[in-house]
Structure 1
Amino acid sequence: MTIETAEDLSELKKIGRIVAVTLQGMIEKTEPGMTTGELDLVGKSLLESYGARSAPKITYNFPGYTCISINEEAAHGIPGDRVIQPGDVVNIDVSAEKNGYFADTGGTFVVPPGNFIKDKLIASTQLALTEACHVARADRPLNEIGKSIQKVARQTGFRIIQNLCSHGVGRSLHEEPGEIPGYYVPGDRRILHEGLVITIEPFLSTKSRIVSEGSDGWTLTGEPGNLSAQFEHTMVITKGKPILLTVV
């Protein structure tokens, strides 16, 4: 969507903060021995306390309130009986709707103890998001987002998961400008415009460039031994720095 009124921005800031607080609350509650299903209920409770609804559930009938992916799982992990272990790389993706407005956020962390490669992967993915936000400005090419992510991946020695993309958001969970690749596509001539609402969500990994759908019909997994990280903000494009909506 494109921001048209002050109410649009106000409502997007509200739902953006709700998903950000929910993500932070879930991270803080994560501990070894709990299941991903139990962690998902923490997210459910937080969303409901703010009067928000799980976007993947109402949009796609996803069998959970949030997406929780661990280790070899890159995205869309279904919460369930999997027990969280020390050293696990955990990704939580929270998206929700309130008053007809949607926001989407995500983050990755290691359940202690971490190690050098896990910590570097997470720090590098955070850096990729920061760098992509720096180039996301009105009247600039949309493909500069992927170019900046690709630069960080090359500098840090990680791969980009190419079939997971950023996207438009606002009045629905996924909308125009459609897929925004996390790598440089020279032939993509799209231009960012003022007021456009998008996500940026780089996915960096240790081995895989492509992830595959599992037998559950949802979970996207890399090759054996692969680890990946994702960080995501919903934002409004301006002529200067984007307005980050998914902040606490």
Structure 2
Amino acid sequence: MTLGPDPFVPEQRAGRLGIGVVGAGRVGAVLGSALRAVGHAVVGVSAVSEESRERAELMLPGVPVLDVEEVVERAELVLLAVPEDELPGLVNGLAGLGRWQAGQLVVHTAGPQGVAVLAPAAAAGAIPLAIHPAMTFTGTSMDLTRLTGAPFAVTAASPVLPIAQALVVELGGEPVVVAEADRPSYAEAVQRATDAVAAAASQAMDALESLGIADPGPHLTPLLTTALDRTLRRSQ
């Protein structure tokens, strides 16, 4: 497919792709914006809720908001940034409609899933890739800076694994290869760590507030930061 220049892309170089973003949630809008910033053209984005439409307008100005089928039809790389439980039905539904294209890159961001969930797209000749950024997204431009150096779990068949790794590098992240069978355990470990830290911090803040400390954040920040840093350095 032939793409015209994107006026919001600083420099559109040869080899750049037409990106279709399915899901203008916090993750999809940010990753789409990051890919646009390195020269890819975002050719369409799907956004169902009013909040997601506003986010698409803010993070991807000028990109047409389209239905999912049209986004997939236009794109050379389809970024599926939808909730994990919606992913299988979405992929199967598009396969049933004959929307997947041979040679098209199809990338999802669900932590527990590898590329098996994209089998219906692969059966049509698409190239399935799974990436998962290990960070919490706000859905704002602040996330673009935080992508730098962020680890991404990457899963793909060996012949196309370098494509997934290169995509992560373009986003500013650090690709970490995770085997298909290990994705559920990987996602569980990441979620457990996130939940544990959040729960401990919340309980400590409640305790300090009960003692009359109106703003416990400044009291806890250096303690939690130091404790977490010490724990994370265990493997170094």
Taking structure 1 as the reference length, the TM-score comes to 0.28
Q: Could you say which structure has the higher helix fraction?
A: 2
Larger of the two Rg values belongs to structure: 2
Q: Could you say which structure has the higher strand fraction?
A: 1
Taking structure 2 as the reference length, the TM-score comes to 0.29
Which of structures 1 and 2 has the larger relative contact order (alpha carbons within 8 angstroms, sep 6+)?
Answer: 1
